[in-house]
Structures are given as structure tokens and as C-alpha cells.
Amino acid sequence: MRMNNSEYLQDAINYWRYTDKKDYELFSQKFPLATIENSYSEIDYMNKWCIDNEITYTPTFFINGHQLPPNYGVSDLKYFLSA
């Protein structure tokens, strides 16, 4: 039985993220994906969104809709979120 798209995508992401050896051939056999040609419009949209929002690296963290400044790290969030 095939999972719904979000479960399938999450499984594929987790597999790639947590596998020690990044072997695309094995990955593509285990998780067949749509051809890249069918995804150009989504890729272009995401690229434009990243440029427009000045997203230059991942992960990028946002607090209340504002990007965490580059000179701060996740460990500094306690100072932003303290009451």
C-alpha cells in the first residue's frame, strides 16, 4: 500500500538525512520520485522566494516572522524568548 504524499516525502527525507552513506542510486530505487522536469516551476518559485526573503543558508530560523540574525545561534534563543 502506498502512503500519502506527505508520509512518503517525510520517509524519503528521513532516509536521506539519517543514512550514513549517501548513495543516490540506492535512494532513487527505494524512493522513486517524479522527474525533475516536472518540478521546474516549484524549484523556480522556491528559489525566487529564498532570494526575496534573503534566505542564503539552511537551516534558517524565524522568530515571530523575523529571521534570526546571522550573528546569533539557536543556543541564543533563550535570551529572545525569556519573559
Query: What integer pLDDT is reported at residue 4 of this predicted model?
Result: 57
Query: What integer pLDDT is reported at residue 34 of this predicted model?
Result: 63
The residue type of 76 is D
Query: What integer pLDDT is reported at residue 6 of this predicted model?
Result: 78
| Sign of the torsion formed by the C-alpha atoms of 20, 22, 25 and 30 | positive
Query: What integer pLDDT is reported at residue 18 of this predicted model?
Result: 93
What are the per-10-residue average pLDDT scores of the chain (83 residues)?
68 90 90 69 87 86 83 83 68
DSSP 39: G
Query: What integer pLDDT is reported at residue 1 of this predicted model?
Result: 33
For residues 49 and 62, what is the distance between their CA atoms, to the nearest angstrom?
15
Query: What integer pLDDT is reported at residue 68 of this predicted model?
Result: 84
